[in-house]
Amino acid sequence: MNLIQLFVFVILMALISSPIERRLREKLNVQRKKGWFVHFVHPSQIVLEIFLLFLFIFSFFRYWDEHTLLIVFAFLIALDFLRAFMHWKFERSSREWVIHLIYASFITILFILLFFLRVF
C-alpha cells in the first residue's frame, strides 16, 4: 500500500465514522467534551496513549511497505479499546466508553472484512 492509498483510506474512514459518532452521541445522550483533543480521564491514560503513539510511529517506519494497513488498524483498535477501558473505569456514568467500544468494534469488523477481501 502506498502513501496515497493510505491517505485516501484514512479520509474515507473519517468521513464514515464522523456521522456515526454524531448519531451515537445523540442516541446515547452523551455530550461532546469541549476542545478538539481527547478528554483524558486519568493521568495513566496520557502515559499509555503516548506509549501507544511511540510504538505506532516506530512500527510504521520500521515496517512501512510490509504491513502498513495492519499497523494503522492495530493502533486504532488498541487506542479505542484503551479509551473505552479508561472511560469505563473512571467515568462510567458518562457512557463515553460505549461510544469508544462501538467505534473499536467497527474498526475491528472493517479490518476483518478487508483482510478477507485480500486488500492487504
Task: Quote the CA–CA distance of 22 and 43 in Å, as a whole number.
Answer: 27
Task: Go through the chain and tell me how many residues it has.
Answer: 120
The x, y and z cell numbers of residue 104, run together, are 473499536
Does a structural domain hold residue 61? yes
Q: Are 71 and 60 in contact (CB under 8 A)?
A: yes
Does a structural domain hold residue 93? yes
What is the DSSP-derived secondary structure letter of residue 33? P
Does a structural domain hold residue 68? yes
From first to last of its 120 residues, the chain has per-residue pLDDT tens of 566 776 777 788 788 888 888 898 899 888 877 766 677 889 999 999 999 999 999 988 887 776 777 888 888 899 999 999 999 999 888 888 898 898 888 888 888 887 777 765
Does a structural domain hold residue 17? yes
**pLDDT (0 to 100) of residue 93:** 84
Does a structural domain hold residue 36? no
**pLDDT (0 to 100) of residue 25:** 87
Which regions of the chain does DSSP assign to beta strands (E)? none
Does a structural domain hold residue 73? yes
Domain count along the chain: 1
What letter represents residue 47's amino acid?
V
Range of the domain at 100: 3-30+41-116
Model pTM greater than 0.95? no
- Helices 68-90 & 96-116 angle (0-180, nearest 10): 160
Does a structural domain hold residue 92? yes
